[in-house]
Structure 1
């Protein structure tokens, strides 16, 4: 009887264990927010081959913000950290404030754009630079040995760049802080800019309420231009957008689609968008500050689903603790 009781007890323990795992599948089927540990901001999300990639700013005081990590996943749930894909040892003209990465793949090379030194006027040295690598995880090396854009044009601080490939294969760089946004056309090898038809190198495309963090994508042959509004250190940080027929606008503000939830997090903004074409899922990757944190640099990278209504307008995003369901690329 003792042996029989022991066998029955063991079976009950095994059944309870299996039932417990099945009763709480959320941890196994959703990403959770944040999607990885650590203080990271300004995330650039993208798909390369069979992996999702996120390239964020290491969120720390400027003197410590001298390198970048990257994260990859095959399913949006399990993330691998790639440490120090670029730093100021390889980009020697930057001494502080390396931030807001943007990345594109061209001619089997990976070009990582970033801002450095947080320049406040044209007499300070810094701006937007480029690093290049053979693999998305780097290591990245300085491409130009100097900034690509190192001056204020149309009032735009040279930060927060996003590189956009248009339908005709042209590459444009959208950038700008201090409530001004410029667009410029990159030449074929990304070593400089190409003048527009009127001879100018920079066109201002600043929409209403723009502050920083531009982003662009195409859907149904329309250009969706997005940006952050408000102050990045406070609760009034938002993402808004416009829709245009041209990459140059005009970009008439439609409305806000991402904002804080005082029950979950504040300062939700400076985002990017990932489109997974097989499932036709759209994701917004962004940073936010947990309500438990008061340090301005304590920002975390999160992901939530982004949806459209029947007219093509973006529905307001609901920020969550759960994140998104797994979506394997293979």
Structure 2
């Protein structure tokens, strides 16, 4: 009997380790799950919402990524350590800003690593691959995809964008510079533009980091973060253009702190619900009780547009969004 009981305990413990359910409240849904997490990328795979955030800690402890999934935006399941530096031999620290996309039958997770400060350091933007959204992920290239400072852009804060024609672009950059490059179909490198340049700079006014792009009504919405990530002035601004290459003229801020709710609201992504005009912005912010720069939580709000297609200013809340199943 003791052996049977021990066996049952082992099964329960192994399941708990592999997948922990994190339930949100329908009244107060922000943050959407517990723990210090930042730079969230939200997406949808097979009628399930997924959020891939940075584990927010000092750089030497930022050595893995967790993921979270939900069918309704209020009850979340944690998928721990979907990527770890154990699987990425060249990555030692500062794993952050994941961006994921499904290409054919595989999931490609783009990430930044090592926070390199010059062209002589090892690190930059890498790619991991898996057959399922929850991984486990392994190194795809065995080396960084981008490991140099092109056009002054630090190789961090990567976002993978699929255009209407199926072309994939890598949009990335820190240190107040943003680049765009055309990815090869297999993501092993880049296809030069017609003028033979590999990366084009598309930096808008006040850009700092955290680029994101989506298409609505055939217009390209380019979004980014401004201010300092560790301070209260962190925020999100945007521009609209007719092409993923711009030019992008800054329109204004649409997400920023509320001294009554939280500070440092920024570094976001956008989820569009299929077959609808419903959009959600997923972002991080710092609780009023916290002063540590790494004390960041992942939150969500609905994002709306006016009759001209401009994004309405977003009010950050504790309530977040209501339960929403994907049909």
Distance 1:238 1:215 in 2: 13
2:199 — aligned with what?
Answer: 202
Task: Structure 1: give runs of 5+ residues left out of the alignment.
Answer: 1-26
How many pairs does the alignment contain? Answer: 304
2:245 — aligned with what?
Answer: 248
2:79 — aligned with what?
Answer: 82
1:320 — aligned with what?
Answer: 317
Q: How does the TM-score come out when normalised to structure 2?
A: 0.92
Distance 2:253 2:326 in 1: 30
C-alpha RMSD over aligned residues: 0.9
Distance 1:137 1:92 in 2: 20
Give CA deviations for 1:287-306 in whole Å, capped at 9, x if unaligned: 00001001110000000010
Q: 2:122 aligns with which of 125, 129, 135?
A: 125
Distance 1:142 1:31 in 2: 38
1:108 positional shift? 1.1
Distance 1:279 1:30 in 2: 24
1:263 — aligned with what?
Answer: 260
1:277 positional shift? 2.5
- Runs of 4 or more above 3 Å deviation: 27-31
Q: 2:286 aligns with which of 286, 289, 307?
A: 289
Distance 2:25 2:33 in 1: 14
Distance 1:208 1:143 in 2: 34
Q: 1:186 aligns with which of 183, 186, 197?
A: 183
Give CA deviations for 1:214-259 in whole Å, capped at 9, x if unaligned: 0000000000000000000001101000000000000000000000
- In the alignment, is residue 49 of structure 1 matched against residue 42 of structure 2? no
Aligned to 1:63, the other structure's residue is in SS state helix
1:281 positional shift? 1.2
Q: 2:170 aligns with which of 173, 177, 183?
A: 173
Q: 1:232 aligns with which of 229, 234, 247?
A: 229
Distance 1:290 1:31 in 2: 14
Q: How does the TM-score come out when normalised to structure 1?
A: 0.91
Distance 1:244 1:137 in 2: 34
Distance 2:103 2:74 in 1: 27
The answer to whether the Cα contact below 8 Å between 2:113 and 2:124 also exists between their aligned partners in 1 is yes
Q: Which has the larger radius of gyration?
A: 1
The answer to whether the Cα contact below 8 Å between 2:28 and 2:318 also exists between their aligned partners in 1 is no
Superposed, 1:106-125 pairs within 5 Å as 106-125=103-122
Superposed, 1:2-151 pairs within 5 Å as 29-30=26-27, 32-151=29-148
Q: 1:221 aligns with which of 184, 199, 218?
A: 218
Distance 1:31 1:73 in 2: 16
In structure 2, do the counterparts of structure 1 residues 30 and 326 end up closer, same or farther at CA, with 3 Å as the change threshold?
farther
Distance 1:220 1:158 in 2: 31
The answer to whether the Cα contact below 8 Å between 1:31 and 1:325 also exists between their aligned partners in 2 is no
Distance 2:179 2:27 in 1: 37
The answer to whether the Cα contact below 8 Å between 2:66 and 2:80 also exists between their aligned partners in 1 is yes
In structure 2, do the counterparts of structure 1 residues 31 and 282 end up closer, same or farther at CA, with 3 Å as the change threshold?
farther
Distance 1:210 1:28 in 2: 35
The answer to whether the Cα contact below 8 Å between 1:286 and 1:303 also exists between their aligned partners in 2 is yes
Distance 2:146 2:171 in 1: 11
